[in-house]
Structure 1
Amino acid sequence: MPKLNRSYPLIFFFIVAVSATVRPHSGIPTPQLKSTPIPRGATTGGISIPLRRRAVFTNSAGVFDKTKALAATVATQNKHRQNLINLEKNKGRAAFNAGAVIKPVATIPTDILDELIKLKLKRQAEPLTDENQDVEWAGPISIGTPPQNFIIDFDTGSSDLWVPSAACTSSVCSTKSKFSANSSSTSALQTGTFQIEYGDGSQVTGPIYTDTVNVAGVGAAKQTFSAVTTLSPSFEGDPADGILGMAFPSISNLRQNPFFTSAHAEGTVPTNAFAFFLSQNNSELYLGGTNPALFVNGTLEFHAINPKSGFWQIPGASAKVDSTVAVTNFETIVDTGTTLIYGPPDAVKTLYAAIPGSAVFDATNGLYSFPCDSVPNVAFNWGGLDRSITADNFNLGLTAVGSSACVGALVGLDLGLGTGIWLLGDSFMKNVYTVFDFNKTAVGFAGIAV
């Protein structure tokens, strides 16, 4: 896949005159708040950052791309495995959700790995073909003095920032922008090593630094991050150079504040909240409040989270199929770094049982199908409005060429995050405008402007 053109899109700045105080994370569970409507314009402005969209798991023939979906699922499993390892080191097992367990490293099945190798060879043979639009919710940042530019995947399901190092000489790093500590007058090497393990047996590892990090004018003067010297082949062909985590400090591998927490503490962002608008076009990360032009009806509905686990985790959820409430009283982690929706296998089985004509597509991997001509209206609710998933976002494609069955974006898989914990990725988030508010200790949803 060709390197992204680094002529960055126009960034819009919004001026505000509002002050906010930092409320430190206490690790104490917050009681569930009643869903609170917030009038349009009540939230503060901030800075808008255009994002490039993530790939979908549907090939050019309209068929579900199981190879890519399963590879992404393994990456999701191992990301959250690492989060639990980090949480245990930082806060102890007492911070775990009930039933949470650190599972063994998930591995990519041999047949899937072989298929991925074939796809890699095909990309190498046809370097100008972007057959799967393999991009993420990524945008530009800079690190160092003078600034070194990177394209970053903004991830609410993790808490660390890392980019490739100039010392990384592998083929995976050859298409990436790389950080040179020697070229930055503000760079400072720290003690320790950053390390994450991936399902193909590889790792992302590197030294730890502090330096100036800037995202569209929002800056942190001494932000901790890693410049990785080894990069997993899992990132081959990925147009993002690295990841910027936006969850809570308690799941940080670096054991430091994430970028947004640092930026707000330094007063470079007006409000201690950020928001995502994810869509086919014109996706946006908004730092320091909300962009009212992107949500409808003039309201946001906030739901208190339990930050003890380190995630943007909302309790009190239910799931519906059309008018039928299928599953109740579970918790949801909202994760921009994940594409699909994952729930406990038994709960997901119960939900699909409420969908007429649904069937098991792949029992081993928790995949289900449904009649393509009758896409169900699946919705989540936290005590307020239903948040429905559109047909386009629930449908991952045909089970096979000529089939009348399609694969659903809801997967039955135990990620080890705890009893009754669901993970809501892009397939859900593309249906709502989502606000992550540290001061309210809450996540807000609104209908998106079409």
Structure 2
Amino acid sequence: MTATGNAIIFDVEVQFGSQSFLLLVDTGSSDTWVVKTDFQCVNSTDNSDLPQESCLFGPTYDVPTDMEYVKNQTFGVQYGTGIAVGKVGFEDITIGGITVPKQKIGIVDRSTDKGDGINSGILGLGYPPLTSAHYGSTLDNSTLLLNRAVYDPTFVSMYKKGLVDSWYSLAIERLPQNVSTGPGGWLGLGELPPVAHSNDWAVAPIEVTKGLPDLYTGGVDQITLMTLTVDGIAWGSRSTKASRTTNSTSFQAVADSGNPMNMVPQEVADEINAEFKPPAVYNEEAGVYVVDCNAETPALGIEIDGHTFWHQSADMIIRDENTGFCYSSVNGPASGLGVTIQFLGDAFLKNVVSVFDFGKDEMRFATRTGGKNGTTGGKGNGSGSGSGSDDETPVPSSASALGTGLGSIASLVLLTLAIAAIL
């Protein structure tokens, strides 16, 4: 993978038939989609047409003349950054040398959502209930959560066809200060990434997300998001452990690689941001805690299954590459329609090796213990087996990509939250 936008977006190479594109890796959504060659970029405020370059996507998908579309279905998905709509079709999808024949994909012809300057869509790695095909030949913005035609996303199809084990792993990288684009880490399909990590794994069952409206769940208690229970949060001085505070009130959170921030209960976010020196100050317009780029950061630990995952100081401040402003990577929750959702985003994920296991409906996390461990050999194609157990030997990554760029502070707050349509 490659990190872009000062390591807040992570792209991976995905092949559609014979065409290759970079897609944003998103554990918080489920669809694989790409913008087509003649797609229309749309202004999210007044729905007016914009030049394609305004949407900041990379190369576009040249739809084959013999493309097989899904009859009487349309594609429509809403994220925190916008809407993408189009048709549903079948295409052979290849990631890291592993091909899923005739995978359902979204072929986007209108979008208010934006890329990072080089990616061309999204690789959603979530559960089937989050997929965004809809019955019928027409779709408007008010029906993006209704009348869903649920299908198996790309990774689910992979493991159901026996192409990989039923889990994937992530190890995402931070970039040096003032470097906007560089190596982004590894996406392993049934494999662990080649990075040094603890052999002591925290195990967290993937849970039914509490409070989601029936229109989002179909009125059924089922797993939708990558939701787990956080046992508590610790924060305070980096130099004096005795002065740290621990909030042991548990809460649900979604592990979301498409979100650069940790979004925690509001009172906890307020207290953590007050510990920056000078303190981070909440900006209503941007929806983030603005902070001095050179501020002294507090220690932050996320507690899961009896393990505390401490964050490096570099992961506590996010720098906007266009404006130069900085903001805290800790924010309050996403709220709306009576629903409040917390997130563990890239600020957390940069400090762990994470495993998302559909076979066991669980996530596993191990602390990163250094830089790249230099592991070579193995298959290197994303296939293979493993369980993230204590004696597992890391093996090579499943895919790699190139990347660049992103935009303003406000646009990053809910980067690709799958629940944004209800908020």
Q: Name the TM-score class by shorter chain.
A: 0.5 to 0.7
3-state SS in 1 of match to 2:258: coil
Equivalent residue, structure 2, for 1:313:
227
Decide whether the 8 Å contact of 1:190 with 1:210 is kept in 2.
no
The counterpart of 2:84, out of the listed 204, 220, 226, is 204
Q: What is the rounded CA distance, in whole Å, between the counterparts of 1:273 and 1:358 in structure 2?
A: 40
The counterpart of 1:246, out of the listed 119, 125, 128, is 125
Compute the TM-score of the two structures, normalised by the length of structure 1: 0.62
3-state SS in 2 of match to 1:165: strand
Equivalent residue, structure 1, for 2:347:
427
Equivalent runs, 1:28-47 vs 2, <5 Å: none
Equivalent residue, structure 1, for 2:267:
346
Q: What is the rounded CA distance, in whole Å, between the counterparts of 2:342 and 2:333 in structure 1?
A: 9
Q: What is the rounded CA distance, in whole Å, between the counterparts of 1:242 and 1:167 in structure 2?
A: 14
The Cα offsets for residues 63-94 of structure 1, whole Å up to 9 and x where unpaired, read as xxxxxxxxxxxxxxxxxxxxxxxxxxxxxxxx
> Whose strand fraction is larger, Structure 1's or Structure 2's?
2
Decide whether the 8 Å contact of 1:304 with 1:442 is kept in 2.
yes
How far did residue 372 of structure 1 move? 4.5
Q: What is the rounded CA distance, in whole Å, between the counterparts of 1:240 and 1:417 in structure 2?
A: 32
The counterpart of 1:289, out of the listed 172, 191, 215, is 191
Amino acid at match of 2:199: G
The counterpart of 1:375, out of the listed 253, 274, 297, is 297
The Cα offsets for residues 260-282 of structure 1, whole Å up to 9 and x where unpaired, read as 0011111111x111011111335
Q: What is the rounded CA distance, in whole Å, between the counterparts of 2:360 and 2:78 in structure 1?
A: 34
Amino acid at match of 2:258: G
Amino acid at match of 1:176: G
Equivalent runs, 1:183-332 vs 2, <5 Å: 183=65, 187-197=68-78, 203-232=83-112, 234-235=113-114, 238-254=117-133, 255-269=150-164, 271-279=165-173, 280=175, 281=183, 283-291=185-193, 293-307=194-208, 308-322=222-236, 323-326=244-247, 328-332=249-253
Decide whether the 8 Å contact of 2:300 with 2:311 is kept in 1.
yes
Decide whether the 8 Å contact of 2:275 with 2:298 is kept in 1.
no
Counterparts in 2 of 1:410 and 1:417: CA distance versus 1, 3 Å:
farther
Counterparts in 2 of 1:315 and 1:416: CA distance versus 1, 3 Å:
farther
Counterparts in 2 of 1:197 and 1:258: CA distance versus 1, 3 Å:
closer
The counterpart of 1:393, out of the listed 315, 318, 328, is 315
How far did residue 335 of structure 1 move? 0.5
Amino acid at match of 2:58: K
Cα-Cα RMSD = 3.1
Q: What is the rounded CA distance, in whole Å, between the counterparts of 2:83 and 2:335 in structure 1?
A: 20
Compute the TM-score of the two structures, normalised by the length of structure 2: 0.66
- Unpaired runs of 5+ residues, structure 1, are 1-50, 57-133
- Count residues in correspondence: 312
Counterparts in 2 of 1:175 and 1:393: CA distance versus 1, 3 Å:
closer
Equivalent residue, structure 2, for 1:360:
281
The counterpart of 2:22, out of the listed 135, 139, 151, is 151
How far did residue 327 of structure 1 move? 5.3
- Unpaired runs of 5+ residues, structure 2, are 42-50, 134-149, 176-182, 209-221, 237-243, 372-423
3-state SS in 1 of match to 2:39: coil
Q: What is the rounded CA distance, in whole Å, between the counterparts of 2:226 and 2:115 in structure 1?
A: 29
Q: What is the rounded CA distance, in whole Å, between the counterparts of 1:357 and 1:180 in structure 2?
A: 51
How far did residue 178 of structure 1 move? 2.8
The Cα offsets for residues 42-65 of structure 1, whole Å up to 9 and x where unpaired, read as xxxxxxxxx010313xxxxxxxxx
How far did residue 402 of structure 1 move? 12
Amino acid at match of 2:24: D
Q: What is the rounded CA distance, in whole Å, between the counterparts of 1:169 and 1:195 in structure 2?
A: 14
